[in-house]
Chain A
Amino acid sequence: MAFSNEDLAIMETIIKRYPRPRSAIMPLLHFVQSRAGYVTNEGIEIIAQQLELAAAEVTAVSTFYTQYKPTPVGEYHVGVCTNTLCAIMGGDEIMDALKDHLGIENDGVTSDGKVSLEHIECNAACDYAPVVMANWEFYDNQTVQSAKDLVDSMRAGNPKPPTRGPNTLVTWKQASEVLAGLNDGRANEGVQAGGPTLLGLKIAKGETK
């Protein structure tokens, strides 16, 4: 794919956020993923040109970070936390069930291009374990069944909404745009906090039994 003039203009504004251009590499890589779906060679070249770096320098950064994908992922990228706490509370069972259900391995993509699967590390939601992420939105307190239902809804083109997130699940490319620091106007959607987040406050206020 080619990057449009409008895309290039957005990349210029991203660079201008920083006192020094090189700092923009990471948001620019997220931006490339928002357009191409993954980090393409073309995307690397454009970032290198804009920042006056060698393509190898951009590649060196891209390959260090696991969120930058060297190959296409699904429209909905599903991450199952299999770090210790989630794994023990059911994350391992969820991961195994999804591999089986989707017929793909870790880092695989379904043949229809809808869903990809990755085992992920702790995603800072341990009080909602076991945790599943989709396009880096929270799906809290998952079970084997709820996780299967979730990926089925994705393949049917009508993904279930996140537990703590926007009203609908955005695509991988749209989420990548948010991670490039662009505002999609959906910050006000969804809850301000889930139950566990509020538990201490409710106890302090005498609102629990």
Chain B
Amino acid sequence: MTKLTPVLSAHWDEKDSFTIEGYKRHGGYTASAKALAMDPDAIIQLVKDSGLRGRGGAGFPTGMKWGFIPQGDNREHYLVVNADESEPGTCKDTPLLMANPHVLIEGCIIACHAIRAKHAFIYIRGEVTHVVRRLNQAIEDAYKAGLLGNGIDVVLHIGAGAYICGEETALLDSLEGFRGQPRLRPPFPAIAGLYARPTVVNNVESIASVPAIIANGAEWYQSMGTEKSKGATLYSLSGHVNNPGQFEAPLGITLREILELSGGVRTGHTLKFWTPGGSSTPLFTAEHLDVPLDYEGVSAAGSMLGTKALQIFDETTCVVRAVLRWTEFYKHESCGKCTPCREGTWWLVQLLRDLEDGKGTEADLAKLLDLCDNIMGRSFCALGDGATSPITSSIKYFRDEYIAHITHGGCPFDPVASTLFVKAGA
């Protein structure tokens, strides 16, 4: 049985965990002091050696990303932290920042020193007022303590409700003061990012993982996880379970283990489908309970680790309704830049609505898959690709349920049965 390994979450149960005093009580800001005395290249090497990979979804090795920043180019470099957590199901960075904003600031100091940047920007989504307060106060307190302002500045940038800004190049356009629309790559941000300067864009959890790696060393970090997926990470369990929440565990833990630790699927019900890493990652079913939740394991089973957002749905849930709602989300959030995504998501919604209402035909299923085929891989960013994931995977595993909507002339499920208001066993 894999054991939980609280590192980021180790002191979240202390009432003042978000204050600078609470953070310093457990060695906060000693890692940045140590790092500032190190050669920047040695830090990059240490992070490479640790095996840390991006926790925002793509899993790109963090140290390697830092190493792409050209050195000695006499231009400004920037660190941009992606705190625009908006992928449906994803809820790890928000509680992290509410409970401990200072670990991100300390990570920013270390990363800035490593990539020779004087400026870090934290781009946080705008729909979390209290998290904005906590982060803003933490930045202010770090300045007062002299931890910031001596060659490294951190600016908090607050978004305004656009999922697409979680895509790194759209985020950069938004941060520059434009509509948040993805850019064509190359050039990649490491060469021409914010203000066309070399820029590292990292997820909150990735940067927040760095202080512990500096403090405890690459070997310590490597001792957790699997062969190619090192370290511990936050798994967010939600949906039809008895006890939802955050679980920090070594990469490679399985959903079965997390369910056993936490108290399982809601009593009296059975697991029907789940997402391993948010709505953009293809659905899994009960047959995937033992898939190791690391980058390779999930990928080999046909999905993606993504943000480790484990959304659990039991047998009361209509998969067509679930997929329709996600698809409406992608349609709404498509920025409109690329035709396949802008028009394609619109048509996906039309077809899925008809199917859910019992007005679809079997030919519509083929048309859905054809549309997905024409969206996948044909736009600047991955939003459109993500929109196809729940559709293609649900048709793969639950084709009969789509057909049942057609033969039944509508949705055969009672939506009330899947709410939390219904008592167990009812």
Q: Which residues of A contact B162 (CB under 8 A)?
A: 64-66
Q: Which residues of A contact B160 (CB under 8 A)?
A: 26, 29-30, 65-68, 179
**Which of A19, A65, A88, A135 interacts with B119 by CB under 8 Å?**
A19
List residues 29-85 of chain B with CB under 8 A from any CB of chain A: 76, 85
Q: Is B159 an interface residue (CB 8 A)?
A: yes
Closest to B158 in A: A179
Q: Is A138 an interface residue (CB 8 A)?
A: yes
Tell me, in angstroms, the Cα distance from A165 to B15 when the chains sit together: 14
List residues 128-177 of chain B with CB under 8 A from any CB of chain A: 128-130, 132-134, 136-138, 140, 155-163, 174-177
Tell me, in angstroms, the Cα distance from A42 to B119 when the chains sit together: 33
Tell me, in angstroms, the Cα distance from A127 to B388 when the chains sit together: 25
Within the complex, what minimum Cβ distance (angstroms) separates B179 from chain A?
A: 4
Could you say which of A4-12, A101-109, A151-159, A191-199 contacts chain B?
A191-199
Q: Which residues of A contact B98 (CB under 8 A)?
A: 164, 192-193, 197
With A165-B129, A192-B99, A193-B99 as contacts: A199 and B329 at CB distance below 8 Å: no
Q: Is A74 an interface residue (CB 8 A)?
A: no
Tell me, in angstroms, the Cα distance from A98 to B126 when the chains sit together: 24
With A27-B158, A178-B133 as contacts: A84 and B88 at CB distance below 8 Å: yes
Closest to A200 in B: B247
Tell me, in angstroms, the Cα distance from A93 to B422 when the chains sit together: 12
Q: Is B89 an interface residue (CB 8 A)?
A: yes
CB atoms of B238 and A85 under 8 A apart: yes
**Which of B10, B158, B249, B321 interacts with A180 by CB under 8 Å?**
B158
CB atoms of A19 and B94 under 8 A apart: no
List residues 405-422 of chain B with CB under 8 A from any CB of chain A: 415-416, 418-421
Tell me, in angstroms, the Cα distance from A29 to B91 when the chains sit together: 26
**Which of B18, B329, B419 interacts with A192 by CB under 8 Å?**
B18
Tell me, in angstroms, the Cα distance from A24 to B229 when the chains sit together: 38
List residues 13-43 of chain A with CB under 8 A from any CB of chain B: 17-20, 22-27, 29-30
CB atoms of B332 and A121 under 8 A apart: yes
Q: Which residues of B contact A55 (CB under 8 A)?
A: none
Tell me, in angstroms, the Cα distance from A29 to B6 when the chains sit together: 39
Q: Is A188 an interface residue (CB 8 A)?
A: yes
With A123-B128, A179-B129 as contacts: A84 and B136 at CB distance below 8 Å: no
Closest to A145 in B: B421
Q: Which residues of B contact A25 (CB under 8 A)?
A: 177
Tell me, in angstroms, the Cα distance from A170 to B133 when the chains sit together: 13
CB atoms of A30 and B126 under 8 A apart: yes
Interface size on A, residues (CB 8 A): 80
List residues 274-309 of chain B with CB under 8 A from any CB of chain A: 279, 309
Q: Is B4 an interface residue (CB 8 A)?
A: yes
Q: Which residues of B contact A188 (CB under 8 A)?
A: 18-19, 137
Q: Is B270 an interface residue (CB 8 A)?
A: no
Q: Which residues of B contact A123 (CB under 8 A)?
A: 127-128
Tell me, in angstroms, the Cα distance from A51 to B238 when the chains sit together: 44
Q: Is B87 an interface residue (CB 8 A)?
A: yes
Tell me, in angstroms, the Cα distance from A79 to B125 when the chains sit together: 15
Tell me, in angstroms, the Cα distance from A166 to B13 when the chains sit together: 18
Q: Is B243 an interface residue (CB 8 A)?
A: yes
Tell me, in angstroms, the Cα distance from A203 to B174 when the chains sit together: 40
Q: Is B190 an interface residue (CB 8 A)?
A: no
Q: Is A124 an interface residue (CB 8 A)?
A: yes
Q: Is A83 an interface residue (CB 8 A)?
A: yes
Within the complex, what minimum Cβ distance (angstroms) separates A178 from chain B?
A: 5
The interface bits of chain A over 108-140 (1 if a CB of B lies within 8 angstroms of the residue's CB, else 0) are 000000000000111111111110010111100
Q: Is B379 an interface residue (CB 8 A)?
A: no
Q: Which residues of A contact B129 (CB under 8 A)?
A: 135-137, 165, 170, 175, 178-179
Q: Is B244 an interface residue (CB 8 A)?
A: yes
Within the complex, what minimum Cβ distance (angstroms) separates A154 from chain B?
A: 16
Q: Is B325 an interface residue (CB 8 A)?
A: yes
Q: Is B246 an interface residue (CB 8 A)?
A: yes
Closest to A127 in B: B244
CB atoms of A85 and B311 under 8 A apart: yes
**Which of B91, B99, B155, B321 interacts with A125 by CB under 8 Å?**
B91
With A30-B158, A164-B98, A179-B158 as contacts: A133 and B127 at CB distance below 8 Å: yes
Tell me, in angstroms, the Cα distance from A188 to B93 when the chains sit together: 19
- CB-CB nearest 10 A-B residue pairs: A199-B245, A187-B137, A65-B160, A196-B245, A22-B177, A200-B247, A126-B238, A67-B161, A204-B4, A66-B161
Can you sample 8 A-B contacts with CB below 8 Å?
A20-B195, A30-B160, A93-B416, A127-B238, A178-B132, A197-B9, A200-B245, A204-B4
Q: Which B residues lie at the A interface, using CB under 8 A? A: 3-6, 9-10, 12-19, 76, 85-91, 93-95, 98-99, 119, 125-130, 132-134, 136-138, 140, 155-163, 174-180, 195, 235-240, 243-249, 261-262, 279, 309, 311, 313, 317, 321-322, 325-326, 329, 332-333, 335, 415-416, 418-421
